[in-house]
A and B are shown apart, each in its own frame.
Chain A
Amino acid sequence: MRAQTLTPENLRKQFVSRAIRNIKRGYADDESGRGMFRSEIRLDLQRSRLMTESYKATEGEAMVLRRAKALANILNKMGIFIRDYERIVGYQTAEPNGIFHPIEQNWKSPQRLANSPAGKTLLDDAGRKELDELCKYWKGKSISDRHQAVLPEDLKKYWTYEGTFLWSQLSELGIPNYEKLFNLGLQGLINEIREKMARLDQKIPADYVEQKDFLTASIISLEAVINFAKRYAVLAKESAVRQKNATRKKILEEIAETCAWVPANPPRTFIEAIQFFYFIHLVRYLEYSTLGIGVRIDYLFGPYYEKDLKEGKITKEETLGILQLLWIKLNELGLVYSPTVSSVYSGVASLQAVTIGGTDEKGRDVTNDLTYLTMEAAKSLKIIEPSIALRVHEGTPDEVYSRATDVIKTGIGYPSLFNDEALIPLYERWGVPKNEAKQYAVSGCVYIEIPGKNVVRRSVGYFVLPKCLWWALHQGVNPKTGEQHGAKTPDPATFKSWEDVLEAYAEQVKFFTSKIETLERINNELLTQYAPRPFYSALLDGCIEQGKDCRRWVYNSLLHHFSQVIGGTNVADAITAIKKIVFEDRKVTLPELITIMDKNWAGREDVRLACLNAPKFGNDDDYADEIARIVQTRGEAAMEEVKDRFGHSHRGDGSAVSATYGLAADTPATPDGRFDREPFADSTLAPAPGRDKKGPTAVLKSCSKISTVNTFNHLLNQKFLPKFLEDDLKPAFLSYLKTWKKLKVPHIQFNVVDRETLLKAKAQPERYSDLIVRVAGFSAYFVDLSSGLQDHIIARTEQTLT
């Protein structure tokens, strides 16, 4: 088969990015007039329409069956099309520039958005009218409605974001067991379910009906997916008949053959494996709004590629072309977030990451041609998704570091590097067996998953650690209203040492974690009742065997729900400043410091500067780093004291997203010398911007003092000039990466761009529409970010060399 004919530049033009702009900063507007999406993007109502139609027709049936039938209704009836350059097919919407919104979860925010300046281009008047009609049905029935209706009175005030945490309904993660799927095909999986049903019929256990309904629902959804593919097969065949161009005709015939075969049957070739994966990925999004990918491209697809290569069916060049086409498909996915969530997901489309490198369960390195071709595809296209998570371990070949550096140098912000030596011991503490830990993948940001396991992880929300410190300095009382909003911790006037501050802080962390976890627990119960996932459950280990939806049980490890914590560095620097200024230098008393700080330092710049000039994390200075180590460990321990409904700990996570900018808007001044509303240090390991004065080696040394095992999967952003990654300086950069690995810092990623370029792009956005920056665990188009967030990125310390 001939390689695709479009160049990377032309391929890039085939899609309009679904990336969202941050139109809010917390609750406040942040350039909302710009519109949340590019003006070509349309809210596609067909999923909502077909789901509503099916729900109306299945009233009274078991919810799991209703969900399966709704999915089947969507897959059977949705408009399908194949674009004239495609070799991998499938869309989630009826038109190329569409996005959908999961109306059954929350109808208010898309309705509000479509009627606001930020979303007015999403629908025309007729569309808005139809949306109103659809919303009428969901009033009182959506998960969000039900959530608010059942909340206990005292929890209601925490449902609304006030600056300490933003609980979020979306963001469910997980990775199907693709290896098993590829071995069986969906038809094989259906057979497995039928056998299970036959065994069930012999036994009639107490939960017989529940199991049977679930298994029946799984079959309905799997058959619908097979049928969905067959519809593409028919469409491709018809198009092939009409097609005059011989090359294109051949490709359409190939599509017809591929879609008639997969996902019903095990893939026989590389292209079939890719198409199989894409159908599953697409429907996973359509069944329930989700994020990420996580698939280990080289490890999963390597055998198919190698077989084709050996048999002369494929070349390296053609494989690169297929990967490029897949990259474009992945950029067609997107979600409608609520405007408030845009504050933390600035520039995000679907937060998808693929994983390469690392080891198999026996610890053998998995690098193959696809490892390099995946990086090559990313390098040729230079688009924001999918981000590449590169796992490195002792056996990672030097060539992988070198080629990764060449891709990083382009400035696209990935691959980001994940350090097996730091992370696998963490998973073991979480309770993941070592052989499974070795197969981990990253689905988006720094979201860690064990492929195929029933780990329906949710990012529960965004958790502002400096606000917890602020509550600790105010005994949990809002000074403006006098209301006891946080935990009632002791009067700071009684604190004898910085350790007393730390304990009050930890108490607040625990208090607010229990609030967000309770909100989540109720939401989880509702999702279990009202949004089972019969399709996705069938793709995971254990659900069919147990006859149980994935939400009704959990894989027995502690890899579970988490909050994305932000501002840990600010808390550490603040407590260090208190130790130095209050308890050692005795420049001010703690109550005096709080009073000055609460006036946003007005008139007391001397005190602010004293705080600012106190030792700071990130300079390989043990004074500050030791406190940072303790603060991070103590904060995580406080969080982990709170358990979820399965008895597992609520955890922190390093993803941070753009919340370090967005949610900082609702934290007043803090003792690290930070002003009211000033953004926090980015990611969870980075020093505060401009406070790391000893260069990049000192940053890594400081980070290495924070124990990954005793905290969580952190994220570290560093900014370098391009010249440091090339020519005669490249060896030094490579040795820097290897030292990063030896220091057991769990993660690192790079912005490779100079300050002048960013300043120019800010001033002339129209000329820099393709400029990509790394925000947190994702890359974004710089022009999508609001001016304040752009400044937050520009302010990050640029590591120079001499």
Chain B
Amino acid sequence: MNDKEKGLIFNIQKFCVHDGPGIRTTVFMKGCPLSCPWCSNPESQNFVPEMMVRDINCRGCGACVQACPRGAITITKTAGRKINREKCDSCLSCVAACLYDSLKQCGKYLTVAKVVNEVLQDKIFYENSGGGVTLSGGEPLSQPAFAKKFLTACKKEGLHTALETSGVGSWTSMESLLPVVDLLLFDIKQLDSDKHRKTTGIKNDLILENLQKAARLGLSELWLRVPLIASFNDSENHIRQIATLGIELGAQKISLLPYHEGGKAKSKQLGKTYSYEQGKAPGENHIRKLKHLIEKEGLAVTVGN
């Protein structure tokens, strides 16, 4: 099987309790067409396996220097280990050489069968908690063939399936997945298309169109997920609009996910610059207000992950 038939996965996380009902396993696909500056999983963005560097674990043994075919790694007494990301072509030879968990590969091409097997290990927990599997990302719609095969296999095993999506992808892809999705976790960042483009790089038209179509199709339960970023999307008015939209579309729940700095350290490990130093979560009182506001509109709300 070549890598095209496999999925690029960067994490299979068991015991998730925020990505749908009950105890779940969340499968994170790597690669996302968006590049939201607040992203808490920057390792999910690129469509190739990457190297993550944890300098704290480095003992300076030099195994990575020897392993690198492009001479991208140097170790000096004064500067410690330096990795020249421009020279690096992500061959990951250094990762294989590192004994100390200092260089790690993020993202692996896995077969549907392998991922399903791992997911099935916790079947007894799903059964007792009303849980299941959540396919998340990155953006699963970017790997539609794998997503379809994987979710179909999970359904065949009797699992409850959830798909978390940013909504950025072709309608054809989404439409093909919905028959095997019990719960659609749809991310809404900003209803104003210009503001959306200014921060994420693209307009939200496609996203909202996919959302409307998916809701109209009515095959899956719908929860909306809103990353809460202070002074970007947390005004009462904006959140009320999202709630109104949710009710129109028949959503059952809105999850508010306050911004956190989880992406900062990981950006550094990936050799990226974290461009959202100004990012802030709304204050607790404000979040409470938003929660009540949505509840008043008649929708269930959860806060946090």
Contacts and interface: CB of A to CB of B under 8 A. Distances in A.
A168 B41 CA distance: 54
Contacts of A112: none
Contacts of A736: 23, 125, 129
Contact of B15 (A606, A728, A743, A802): A802
B15 A729 contact: no
B23 A735 contact: yes
A694 interface: yes
A606 B100 CA distance: 9
B16 A801 contact: yes
A735 B22 CA distance: 8
A130 interface: no
B132 to A, nearest CB: 13
Nearest to B13: A802
Contacts of B121: 620, 697-698, 701
A732 B18 CA distance: 10
Nearest to A802: B16
B84 interface: no
A696 interface: yes
B90 interface: no
Interface in A696-749: 696-698, 701, 724, 728-729, 731-732, 735-736, 738-739, 742-743
A729 B100 CA distance: 35
B15 A801 contact: yes
Classify the secondary structure of A's interface with B. helix
B99 A606 contact: yes
B99 A801 contact: no
A71 B124 CA distance: 55
Determine the main DSSP class of B at the interface with A.
loop
**Most interface-central of A605, A620, A728, A732 (chain B CB within 10 A):** A732
A695 interface: yes
Tell me which of A605, A606, A698, A739 has the highest count of chain B C-beta atoms within 10 A of its own C-beta: A739
B14 A742 contact: no
Given A620-B121, A731-B129, A697 B23 contact: yes
Contacts of A28: none
A739 B131 CA distance: 12
B61 to A, nearest CB: 8
Nearest to B122: A697
A609 B63 CA distance: 14
B122 A738 contact: no
A179 B17 CA distance: 46
Contacts of B122: 697-698, 701
B18 to A, nearest CB: 7
**Interface hub of B18, B19, B131 (most chain A Cβ within 10 A):** B18
A735 B100 contact: no
B160 to A, nearest CB: 13
B125 A697 contact: yes
Interface in B17-65: 17-19, 22-23, 26, 59
A730 B15 CA distance: 13
B231 interface: no
Nearest to B25: A697
Interface residues on B, range: 20 to 34
A732 B22 contact: yes
A697 B125 CA distance: 8
Contacts of A694: 14
B76 interface: no
Interface in A599-654: 605-606, 609-610, 613, 620
Contacts of A698: 14, 121-122
A730 to B, nearest CB: 10
Nearest to A733: B17
A242 to B, nearest CB: 58
B128 interface: yes
Contacts of A799: 15
B302 to A, nearest CB: 6
A739 B23 CA distance: 11
Interface string B97-135: 001100000000000000000000110110011110000
Nearest to A743: B124
B170 interface: no
Interface in B287-305: 302, 305
A698 B13 CA distance: 11
Contact of B128 (A620, A701, A729, A742): A742
Nearest to B305: A802
A620 B122 CA distance: 9
B22 A738 contact: no
A735 B129 contact: yes
Contact of B26 (A697, A729, A802): A802
Contacts of B59: 605
A731 B130 CA distance: 10
Contacts of A731: 129
Interface in B54-97: 59
Contacts of B99: 605-606, 609-610, 613
Contact of A696 (B15, B22, B124, B129): B15
A694 B118 CA distance: 11
Interface string A335-365: 0000000000000000000000000000000
B257 to A, nearest CB: 12
Contacts of B16: 801-802
A610 B26 CA distance: 29
B60 to A, nearest CB: 12
Contacts of A738: 128
A739 B302 contact: no
Nearest to B12: A694
7 contacts: A605-B99, A697-B122, A697-B125, A698-B121, A728-B302, A736-B23, A802-B13
Given A606-B99, A742-B128, 20 more contacts: A609-B99, A609-B100, A613-B99, A694-B14, A695-B13, A697-B14, A697-B121, A732-B129, A735-B22, A735-B125, A735-B129, A736-B23, A739-B125, A739-B129, A742-B124, A801-B16, A802-B13, A802-B15, A802-B17, A802-B26
Interface of A: 605-606, 609-610, 613, 620, 694-698, 701, 724, 728-729, 731-732, 735-736, 738-739, 742-743, 799, 801-802
9 nearest CB pairs, A to B? A735-B129, A695-B15, A609-B99, A732-B17, A739-B128, A695-B14, A735-B128, A697-B15, A697-B122
